[in-house]
Amino acid sequence: MKGRCNAAAHADRSALFICAIPTAISSSWPRRWRVKTEPPGLRNPRVWAVPLLCLLGFATLWATGSNEALFRLLNRLGPLSNDALWASITILGDTLVAIALAGLLARRRPDILWGLLLAAIFATLWVHGIKTLAGALRPLAVLGPEQVHVIGHALRSGSFPSGHTATAFTLAGVFMLRGTPRWLAGGLLLLAVLAGISRSAVGAHWPLDLFAGAFGGWLAAVIGSRLANCWDWGIRPEPAHGIRIFFLLCAVALLTLHDTGYPQAQWLQWSIGVAATLGLGSVIWRDWRR
């Protein structure tokens, strides 16, 4: 019991520290990072490198028949480390958590928030359209509880593709394509990769699901970024104000209504919700007083 309490206290402190980082980052951005930035051209490697790597990984797993073997390897990460760690990483791909985090990081970048909203439409169509058609079973339903280490809710259906992975890569893609600092975009991409890996670590998805989710999420980010550049309605003052309020409401929902399915990561969820609520609320309040 004492060990569990110490672990919980450590997780709480880590969550608060992690959550403080994006606030400091976004508040220190130079002005040139806070304005609308042109997305790279379609021939730019930043646009196509990730989906091409996803296609290569997917094809390799399919051709070699190593999907199950790789899942078993990744699923051992939980027992070898800490369930709370992987639960905390995996909720970064939860839709409301990602929206709140994006709102916190980009609260002064209406072009990013607008691009994310547009990209989310295509990511949702990709994930839920294919899930309905594929009807794939998750590892727990195929291998049984004796062979799968499950963290969080026990999920059995709707495996292909991974929605959490798609969400994480949509978020990282829009930030990278809309002109944020390289270290920030790279950090979000690294978190997206870890969020994808975590979906196998928690026993929820096959590796093929992860590649398909990342592929669709990044393409959604490309489409959303291009549309935001062509159709700037969401960057205008009044619509941008309404979009910030939407992101704020999503952050508030993390504190009240939303269940990520991972109680081990509750404190990280609440920390992101509090930081995003305060960060977005301060920007909205200042805009309203002008």
Digit-coded pLDDT (tens) for 236-264: 999 999 999 999 999 999 998 899 999 99
Distance CA 103, CA 250 (A): 9
On whether residue 4 sits in a domain, the answer given is no
Provide the pLDDT for residue 33: 41
* Cβ contacts of 122 within 8 Å, gap of 6 or more: 219, 220, 223, 224
Q: What is the pTM of this model?
A: 0.87
On whether residue 109 sits in a domain, the answer given is yes
Provide the pLDDT for residue 83: 96
Over residues 109-122, the pLDDT tens digits come to 999 999 999 999 99
CATH number, domain of 217, equals 1.20.144
- Alpha carbon separation from 244 to 33, 42, 103, 106, 167 (Å, rounded): 18, 29, 7, 10, 19
Distance CA 212, CA 207 (A): 9
Provide the pLDDT for residue 22: 45
Over residues 162-179, the mean pLDDT reads: 97
What percent of the chain is modeled with pLDDT above 70?
87
Domain hosting residue 120, numbered range: 46-289
Q: Cα 64 to chain center, whole Å?
A: 29
- Alpha carbon separation from 38 to 34, 122, 229 (Å, rounded): 12, 20, 7
Over residues 73-83, the pLDDT tens digits come to 999 999 999 99
Mean pLDDT of the chain: 89
Q: Cα 191 to chain center, whole Å?
A: 8
On whether residue 21 sits in a domain, the answer given is no
Using an 8 Å Cβ cutoff, are 176 and 46 in contact? yes
Is the pLDDT reported for residue 4 higher than 60? no
Over residues 191-246, the pLDDT tens digits come to 999 999 999 999 999 999 999 999 999 999 999 999 999 999 999 999 999 999 99
Using an 8 Å Cβ cutoff, are 92 and 98 in contact? yes
- Alpha carbon separation from 150 to 67, 172, 199 (Å, rounded): 18, 26, 10
Provide the pLDDT for residue 37: 65
Place of tokens 């270290």: 183
Over residues 33-59, the pLDDT tens digits come to 444 567 777 778 889 999 999 999 999
On whether residue 167 sits in a domain, the answer given is yes
The b-or-e profile of 263-289 (16+ CB within 10 A means b, else e) is ebbbbbbbbbbbbbbebbbebbeeeee
Mapped onto helix, strand or coil, the DSSP state of residue 198 is helix
On whether residue 7 sits in a domain, the answer given is no
Top-confidence residue, 6 or 130? 130
Residue 185: pLDDT band (50, 70, 90) is: very high
Place of tokens 């508030």: 252
On whether residue 195 sits in a domain, the answer given is yes
Over residues 133-147, the pLDDT tens digits come to 999 999 999 999 999
Provide the pLDDT for residue 66: 98
Distance CA 276, CA 97 (A): 10
Which pair of structure tokens corresponds to residue 175? 């930030």
On whether residue 24 sits in a domain, the answer given is no
Over residues 16-38, the pLDDT tens digits come to 444 444 444 444 444 444 445 67
Nearest to 115 by CA among 22, 36, 25, 196: 36
Using an 8 Å Cβ cutoff, are 233 and 36 in contact? no
Number of domains in the chain: 1
On whether residue 145 sits in a domain, the answer given is yes
Distance CA 65, CA 85 (A): 29
Provide the pLDDT for residue 288: 83
